[in-house]
Amino acid sequence: MAVTLAALVARFGGEMLGDGAIAISQVAPLNQAKADEIGFVSQSKYLAQLSSTRAGAVILPLDARDATELPRILTPNPYLYFARVSALLNPPPRPPAGVHPAATVAEDAVIGADASVASGAVVGPGAVIGERTVVGANCVIGDHARIGADCLLHANVTVYHRCEIGDRAILHSGCVIGSDGFGFAPDEGRWEKIPQIGRVLIGDDVEVGACTTIDRGALEDTTIEEGVKLDNLIQIAHNVQIGAHTAIAACTGIAGSAKIGRHCMIGGAAMIFGHIEIADGTRISTNTLITKSLPQAGTYTSALPFSEHEVWQRNAVHMRNLDKLVNRVKQLEKRLNELEGKS
């Protein structure tokens, strides 16, 4: 499809400068864009690329109105504007509505109007698939699971029994919703499994990345509130609660019963202990280990920069002796205070 700049401004707002009849068929980086494509600049350091770009139009911040003579749209948030234009020009593929003959759907399952169930998918007894939802090839929807309207389940998604997913969710290939939490009782050197009888409840507008796993609760439910965005390869353990509009990057692990607030941002490969609480609006840097509750919002970082192996070994020796060093400093300070008191 193609859309004019005037139509974009009518749809998304912003201030247009130049020829509004220019038609745009795709978004592209400034250094690769062609005459029928639109680029964007969100940081001033990239403004220099405007002199050489072949883009037909650009999206710029408000203070860059005179940075080029190209047709342009001015907006307070060029990155967000670009995202909306890209979504308009690149709608997800929509398979035909209906149940594929090679799908297996229980007789009492409910399939909403205009929903699509692809080849190899299995929909269990009592399951509900909402209107216009797409269930990709080889997905498994467990008994009495509920999927909302306008959802997109890519191929090979598994939703276990009784789990519930809200409207407009996107579940990427290989993600598993509702697998058993890691619960075992010790018994004289052996482990006895604890039944995981809770569910996973996922709110509206949630996106779950490829091969991310969300465990069902042991007794209570694991809860992912509305608007949460989860990257690939994340492990969320049983009874975890994640507040609305929190975003978590890949390879993060969250232990059982952790409570993460709303509007948090958690970097890749972070590790979060169980049974702790993290305040709304908290930011956690990549590779950070969180071992206790964070009652106040802020940015928390624990990752050490890499170094040559021999240097790291020498520093590691000092780190093991930090407690002794602190005690020695305290003793020296105490002695110094005593000497100053006598003088």
E strand or H helix that includes residue 190 = strand 190-193
**Catalytic residue of the set 238, 263, 275, 309:** 238
Distances (CA, A) of 147 to 135, 200, 242, 254: 10, 12, 19, 24
* In 195-287, beta strands by DSSP E: 200-202, 207-208, 213-215, 222-224, 229-230, 235-236, 241-242, 247-248, 253-254, 259-260, 265-266, 271-272, 277-278, 283-284
Q: Which residues lie below 8 Å from residue 114, measured CB to CB, with a gap of 6+?
A: 97, 131, 132
- Closest Cα to residue 137, out of 164, 151, 114, 158? 158
154 tagged catalytic: no
Identity of residue 63 = D
**44 CB neighbour count, 10 Å cutoff:** 11
Structure tokens at 306: 């890499």
d(CA 277, CA 245): 16
Identity of residue 169 = A
**187 CB neighbour count, 10 Å cutoff:** 8
Active-site residue list: 238
